[in-house]
Amino acid sequence: MIGFPAFLLKLLFCLFRSKKHLVSEVALLRKELEILKRRTSGKQIMIRHSDRIFLVALNKASGIRERISIVQPETVLKWQRMLIKHFWTFRTCGRKKGRKPVDKQIQDLILGMKNENNTWGVRKIQGELMKLNIFLDSKTIWNILHKFRLQGRIKTGLTWKKFLQMQAHSICGMDFFTVDTIFNKRYYVFFMIAHTSREIVRFAVTENPVREFVRQQIIEFEQGLKRTMYLIHDNAVQFNLRYRDYGFTGIAILVGAPDMNAIAERFIGSIRREAQILQHSKTASRP
């Protein structure tokens, strides 16, 4: 039995408690009584999920975990951590929110536009769709094309490699390389190499590699040809000619694609290496 002094001290302590503290105390006692009433003889206390949420919220508001009697204070903290984890990993079910997906017929229309006009970009396709009263954002069109591109449904454009493969029978590369003699004289060798057979179809040697010399070689090469030829050349002044006047199509090397005339340059490299090997072999054979 509690003594009078202790009872008096407890009464005074209750009188000076705040209203918030008293309300939380009463709520805690009622919740504990409700939980204990569910307990039958010889069975464990049944604590529901709603009870855990209530006690965690009450502890967050008033810090009652030290005053709870049906469970340990660490248990209340454990419930709180579990609820927080469940909150951040909770996924909503049902309909997805957001913008409606683009109709499949419109996606197929965009795919058809791109495949039939491979050079069209997103803006061009967007403009053509607007003529049909179909208004889509450029980012949406890009996403649709990107999806089709990953699926392999968009036809690739005409790359330089494909162009060479398709037109190899009518392509020649031409260039100059130099030869220095033992008398300190330099000659310029002009050559034209066929892409299909790697055959040197024309060559000539000069001391002055001027434009008129290249023009004369092209005129002589053009005689007897019955088809249009593509001539790949670099951007030197000597190759700055009107090739269409002679029945050819000139293709100048782009600044960002130095390998466009790789076959002619490879031939020059072969000549350099073989000539160097021949020179070394002659030097080694001398007594």
pLDDT of residue 117: 86
8-state DSSP, 253: P
pTM score over 0.75: no
pLDDT score of 98 more than 60: yes
Mean pLDDT value of segment 44-67: 78
Confidence of residue 11 (pLDDT cuts 50, 70, 90): low
To the nearest whole number, what is the mean pLDDT of the chain?
Answer: 81
Task: State both tokens at 147.
Answer: 């999806």
DSSP letter for 243, please.
Answer: G
Q: pLDDT (tens digit, 9 = 90+) per residue, 100-159?
A: 889 999 999 999 998 888 878 899 999 999 999 999 999 999 999 999 988 988 887 666
Nearest to 47 by CA among 27, 31, 26, 68: 31
pLDDT interval class at 169 (50, 70, 90): confident
Give kind and range of the element (H or E) at residue 205.
strand 200-206
Q: How far apart are CA 171 and CA 177, in angstroms?
A: 20
What is the pLDDT, as a whole number, of residue 56?
A: 80
User: Confidence class of residue 162 from pLDDT cuts 50, 70 and 90?
Assistant: confident
pLDDT value of residue 286 = 46
